[in-house]
Structure 1
């Protein structure tokens, strides 16, 4: 639309015919988004007519008028159109109007008014929540209606409603100097804003509502940070009442008021019985602030009976074994505060659009569980108490249990997908296996030291793995040195002759083969017996032998995986007569090059043909693993069975964990700044000294 048509458009806004006004404002809402058009429209005197139309029109004409005003304000132009009468009209529409297209425009106008800071403008109009307050006083159900719009099926309407709520919250959090902001936030929460936004964060409408949802999430962090920054001051009556309420809640209802007052007054450990570290608990809220007070108060208020029962249970234990409930509650508050990175809310606010551009990070940007802070705190505190009992912890172990809870939160809350319900999180935290938690702790410990030590840790791990391999090799070879019985069954193979009618039903000839490695580890001695002897035969009885120097390979059908657990596995089979060997499909074959004579003796092994030297039929998977890997390791080859490899990893893993647990992190990691550890020197040292760090020894 060119400039010459703007005066005509302005004139038609004031026409007597409704259809003319409707068509004019319909065209206006599309064109007003152009800044140059908006400037000409204002200079031509269009604002008064647009305001009049917004105040008096209805139906689609009203919807187009509201949309035009909202788009004009988005350009930061035409603020003269805004007055208390227009604000009152918009508030009224939010409360009384059912039409979605009208509600969108009304909320967009109010959102622009609340979110903008126009202190330097010539207009005398108040902005922020103060601008809406006179009209809200006339329509007290405004906030309730506004929150209810978050459940609308129209995504754009939900977005406009949430943007307006965000503007009101941000104004309250940033511009309220009298700490009255929490009353407004509490009112919104009582109206169900948390539940409504939580449902939107878990819905399929996430893409359409991304910006206002992220802003609400960041505002929640700002609110938590403001609570944490409020220091507990017992000189303030409300702070003192909050702390004393914990004492009151710690006594049962059946106890008379006089008895409660007497107990609180004369109890020598008035505050320590609640789990504080001293009788002056104010300083213990230094890190968690009033947020910590709110969390423990909320727990005690909702679970008063559980709190009293816990105190009775703890009082029956020795002092060093009691779980300090109050201290644990404050620790959980700090764990959640760190987990959700509340301190990073300002920087995240700047980066949220960058995050949205990456589809891989889109889902992870939303943290709906943050909105259920109180329930997560309760779940975390219950987990703390459960782990304290499960580990048999004492007061000096407090930091260790705290670290387990931190890992639990990272694992359960941190790994939860966006759509996972908070109820499932609570159940998982209450049932998480302690042994699995300890395994996760050790894995994280290894990763932490891996970052800090770098090549030092890798070198130690390689050394330990080599030592573990040598240890297992020796164990396997000792099994060979001890000797073992193997069934030696003659079946219907070529060695038994052809099958005829006469010998079809003949019994299988059974015998036992005993194999043993010589003391010098150079020969495998063996002999076959009709039955298994009670005594282990000596080497002098074993007439046959295999020279290991001519062995070329050891092959087997032994699986590299763990044996099956069913009854059909090759594990040892119970039998009534142990003298009769059981049939087994497990087979180990030792191949080699037989000595040759004459001119062929000069031939290299490469031209010779491998010959089976010995067959073994282990009766169990364990025996098969011992002999197969023992023979391979004697030939300086790597073990292949799962049993042996698990044993090597187990021994090496225990070695690295023991060394990690015995070395202080700050000693080797430069107190976490990534610097190389500094080895002790001779300067200032008299006489001899000796030090040992993680297997690295030195002396002078």
Structure 2
């Protein structure tokens, strides 16, 4: 093997380019073996590989760069790394168009930037990490721009190498605690469009080729967010002081201080007097805004400052609109911004360690689970923060919230973000997410809140919640039963059966009026030529049914769509729905036979046959539901129509939600003032209140 390596090293120094090209081509396939690399170095191969890296061109250069990169990957060959080599590699990345050369050059820089900065390296006077690149980048200042541009390359391997190098530069910059220039470096990358480029890669279908560097970039984004949050706000820091001052200045309309809430003082144009509500009027809880950033750190300041800077007109307009409101009605803009920052921070699990991310990656490596692994929306943190803040403002205004309702609005925004952002697929564009958050209806949001609340209590209470549901369902059943029976007590008009026969050629429509007696024992009914004004008196109805004789009530209500009669515009709308009341003409004995007195000899004849006592044709679905279920429930049977069951579930569910929320009267948002309590003058004990009639 040594003789083969010696021969290979000798050919690397050949005067013929073809010989050198073939030798370095073979080298790139073997140099990744550490034992081979040791022999190669011992035979003096490093010097010749370095020479080719600095002076070769074409495929010979490409193979040399690949060999060099693979040698560094096995932690060999660091002795020949110097500024001349680094500058040559940086020059190639900036100026060379060939993809196979760019791949190798970027791989070399990834190893150099990622190489540990050890005491041995320090003693040799060599720099590694990002400092090693600084002299070369000073010569080629367009290096970072070209690197970001490579993220749009059609060559997936080159694109992955470019992102890997960017990741290495970011990680090394963040890890160097002694160098506080990392925020400027990160900002420069963002200004060059790295966020937009990586976001586009995350939404593509060819994720497998970029998987590792994309996951690393996503993890680094969380590292940055954690780092920014971990920086406490400090007025001794010039940058922090400028940011806070910028928020205050942005609140001044035409350089004039505006008094936002009633009782905050009287600011006047060009007044130099200190405003006692300088910070509270912007939505801070106290006049010491630094304390407000305790949980969000500099990240909260960045988010708030970004909103104020990019939406200054909206910011000033909100402050002016609140100028006539009392303090507890003002929307706390600054406080809301910090809450949205925390909601996003918790939603994306930013505090989750990189070790957990790695475990998730190993579990979800299959192609089918990639969508669960990538979170492209976290790259648009600022836009999501603005969308969440706008949602807070919209909900505050729509609900007429006050200071005591603050936490409720925060919880609604949290649910909104969990629903829209958490439910977004990987390929969903951030603009669609913004639009959905802006159009999400409050009623739908409240529905989601109640579902989550029920699930929470379901887990905690279990059997107790089930028992509560059963009790509330029984109460709702009694409530709906009373309501349906009162519909029968009210009475209703039904078109007679002859009016529905379209083949008879009749001239007028006849009607049946039916009404339940006040004692709820008889169903009175009678036929009329036309609907009369007012309800007929029970005495005017010639027929009645003793409900104790009713055996069953059947109908086709559930299957009917209640179509109007075709081609009969002169006939009032009616349906083909039919309610049929079956029963016996005489009481049923305990043996189950019907007892009938023949009226002549005083004996009883036996007949158990059912007959139709009455048929009704409800004119609308509502009447059909009221009368069919009302008759059934009057007979102590379960309701069957969809309308009644929907109403039953609605009442029972609202009862459950009210109990879960423990809503008090003053917690409910009323659009109008409560009506005055009626006087009790001249009122004796003989009175009642009709729950359904309101009298």
TM category, shorter: 0.7 to 0.9
Are the counterparts in 2 of residues 625 and 641 from structure 1 also a CA contact under 8 Å? Answer: yes
Q: Following the alignment from structure 2 to structure 1, what is the Cα–Cα distance between the partners of residues 494 and 461?
A: 49
**Residue 650 of structure 2: aligned partner:** 650
Are the counterparts in 2 of residues 554 and 632 from structure 1 also a CA contact under 8 Å? Answer: no
Q: Following the alignment from structure 1 to structure 2, what is the Cα–Cα distance between the partners of residues 339 and 270?
A: 32
Give the SS at the match of 2:23: helix
Q: Following the alignment from structure 1 to structure 2, what is the Cα–Cα distance between the partners of residues 448 and 617?
A: 46
Evaluate the alpha carbon distance shift between residue 120 and residue 584 of structure 1 in structure 2; reply closer, same or farther with a 3 A threshold.
same
What does 1:111-510 correspond to in 2, within 5 Å?
111-119=110-118, 125-253=126-254, 263=271, 265-490=273-498, 507=506, 510=509
Query: Quick check: 625-634 or 188-197, which moved more?
Result: 625-634
Are the counterparts in 2 of residues 155 and 209 from structure 1 also a CA contact under 8 Å? Answer: yes
Give the SS at the match of 1:344: coil
Evaluate the alpha carbon distance shift between residue 585 and residue 223 of structure 1 in structure 2; reply closer, same or farther with a 3 A threshold.
same
Q: Following the alignment from structure 2 to structure 1, what is the Cα–Cα distance between the partners of residues 418 and 136?
A: 46
Deviation, 1:169, is 0.4
* Deviations 1:224-250, CA, capped at 9 Å, x for gaps: 111111111123333223212222222
Are the counterparts in 1 of residues 574 and 620 from structure 2 also a CA contact under 8 Å? Answer: no
Deviation, 1:188, is 0.9
**1:31 and 2:30 matched:** yes
2:579 equivalent among 578, 588, 596? 588
Give the SS at the match of 1:551: strand
What does 1:59-78 correspond to in 2, within 5 Å?
59-78=58-77
**1:639 and 2:630 matched:** no
Give the SS at the match of 1:357: coil
Evaluate the alpha carbon distance shift between residue 146 and residue 232 of structure 1 in structure 2; reply closer, same or farther with a 3 A threshold.
same
Are the counterparts in 1 of residues 303 and 382 from structure 2 also a CA contact under 8 Å? Answer: yes
Deviation, 1:126, is 2.1
Are the counterparts in 2 of residues 523 and 547 from structure 1 also a CA contact under 8 Å? Answer: yes
Evaluate the alpha carbon distance shift between residue 663 and residue 395 of structure 1 in structure 2; reply closer, same or farther with a 3 A threshold.
closer
Evaluate the alpha carbon distance shift between residue 118 and residue 269 of structure 1 in structure 2; reply closer, same or farther with a 3 A threshold.
closer
**Residue 673 of structure 1: aligned partner:** none
**Residue 556 of structure 1: aligned partner:** 556
Deviation, 1:174, is 1.3
Query: Quick check: 83-92 or 41-50, which moved more?
Result: 41-50
Evaluate the alpha carbon distance shift between residue 52 and residue 356 of structure 1 in structure 2; reply closer, same or farther with a 3 A threshold.
farther
Q: Following the alignment from structure 1 to structure 2, what is the Cα–Cα distance between the partners of residues 105 and 416?
A: 37
Q: Following the alignment from structure 2 to structure 1, what is the Cα–Cα distance between the partners of residues 129 and 96?
A: 23
* Deviations 1:378-423, CA, capped at 9 Å, x for gaps: 2222222222222111122221222222222222222222222222
Deviation, 1:223, is 0.6
Deviation, 1:83, is 3.1
Q: Following the alignment from structure 1 to structure 2, what is the Cα–Cα distance between the partners of residues 229 and 439?
A: 36
Q: Following the alignment from structure 1 to structure 2, what is the Cα–Cα distance between the partners of residues 334 and 264?
A: 36
Deviation, 1:550, is 5.3
Give the SS at the match of 1:208: helix
Evaluate the alpha carbon distance shift between residue 19 and residue 635 of structure 1 in structure 2; reply closer, same or farther with a 3 A threshold.
farther
**Residue 671 of structure 1: aligned partner:** none
Evaluate the alpha carbon distance shift between residue 582 and residue 112 of structure 1 in structure 2; reply closer, same or farther with a 3 A threshold.
closer
Deviation, 1:328, is 1.5
Are the counterparts in 2 of residues 559 and 641 from structure 1 also a CA contact under 8 Å? Answer: no
Evaluate the alpha carbon distance shift between residue 608 and residue 149 of structure 1 in structure 2; reply closer, same or farther with a 3 A threshold.
farther
Evaluate the alpha carbon distance shift between residue 44 and residue 647 of structure 1 in structure 2; reply closer, same or farther with a 3 A threshold.
same
Give the SS at the match of 1:126: coil
Q: Following the alignment from structure 2 to structure 1, what is the Cα–Cα distance between the partners of residues 225 and 500?
A: 82
**Residue 107 of structure 1: aligned partner:** 106
Evaluate the alpha carbon distance shift between residue 119 and residue 636 of structure 1 in structure 2; reply closer, same or farther with a 3 A threshold.
farther
Deviation, 1:193, is 1.0
Query: Quick check: 645-654 or 462-471, which moved more?
Result: 462-471
What does 1:526-565 correspond to in 2, within 5 Å?
526-533=525-532, 534-538=534-538, 541-545=541-545, 551-552=551-552, 554-559=554-559
Deviation, 1:610, is 6.4
Query: Quick check: 218-227 or 431-440, which moved more?
Result: 431-440
Evaluate the alpha carbon distance shift between residue 491 and residue 104 of structure 1 in structure 2; reply closer, same or farther with a 3 A threshold.
same
Evaluate the alpha carbon distance shift between residue 505 and residue 283 of structure 1 in structure 2; reply closer, same or farther with a 3 A threshold.
closer
Q: Following the alignment from structure 2 to structure 1, what is the Cα–Cα distance between the partners of residues 235 and 356?
A: 34
Are the counterparts in 2 of residues 271 and 279 from structure 1 also a CA contact under 8 Å? Answer: yes
The alignment covers a number of residue pairs equal to 639
Deviation, 1:591, is 4.2
Give the SS at the match of 1:342: coil
**Residue 678 of structure 2: aligned partner:** none
- Consecutive unaligned residues of structure 1, counting only runs of 5 or more, are 497-503, 665-700
What does 1:589-604 correspond to in 2, within 5 Å?
589-591=580-582
Deviation, 1:251, is 1.8
Evaluate the alpha carbon distance shift between residue 519 and residue 203 of structure 1 in structure 2; reply closer, same or farther with a 3 A threshold.
same
Query: Quick check: 422-431 or 645-654, which moved more?
Result: 422-431
Give the SS at the match of 2:644: helix
Are the counterparts in 1 of residues 513 and 527 from structure 2 also a CA contact under 8 Å? Answer: yes
Q: Following the alignment from structure 1 to structure 2, what is the Cα–Cα distance between the partners of residues 255 and 41?
A: 75
Give the SS at the match of 1:189: helix
Are the counterparts in 1 of residues 415 and 445 from structure 2 also a CA contact under 8 Å? Answer: yes
Q: Following the alignment from structure 1 to structure 2, what is the Cα–Cα distance between the partners of residues 436 and 67?
A: 57
Deviation, 1:278, is 1.4
Q: Following the alignment from structure 2 to structure 1, what is the Cα–Cα distance between the partners of residues 35 and 582?
A: 92
Evaluate the alpha carbon distance shift between residue 320 and residue 41 of structure 1 in structure 2; reply closer, same or farther with a 3 A threshold.
same
Deviation, 1:461, is 1.6
Deviation, 1:536, is 2.8
CA RMSD of aligned residues (A): 3.4
Evaluate the alpha carbon distance shift between residue 165 and residue 513 of structure 1 in structure 2; reply closer, same or farther with a 3 A threshold.
same
- Consecutive unaligned residues of structure 2, counting only runs of 5 or more, are 258-266, 595-606, 665-695
* Deviations 1:492-538, CA, capped at 9 Å, x for gaps: 97xx9xxxxxxx97526743323344566565444434444544342
Evaluate the alpha carbon distance shift between residue 254 and residue 353 of structure 1 in structure 2; reply closer, same or farther with a 3 A threshold.
closer
Are the counterparts in 1 of residues 12 and 48 from structure 2 also a CA contact under 8 Å? Answer: yes
Q: Following the alignment from structure 2 to structure 1, what is the Cα–Cα distance between the partners of residues 344 and 611?
A: 68
Are the counterparts in 2 of residues 276 and 327 from structure 1 also a CA contact under 8 Å? Answer: yes
Q: Following the alignment from structure 2 to structure 1, what is the Cα–Cα distance between the partners of residues 294 and 115?
A: 35
Deviation, 1:176, is 2.9
Structure 1-normalised TM-score? 0.83
Evaluate the alpha carbon distance shift between residue 125 and residue 638 of structure 1 in structure 2; reply closer, same or farther with a 3 A threshold.
farther
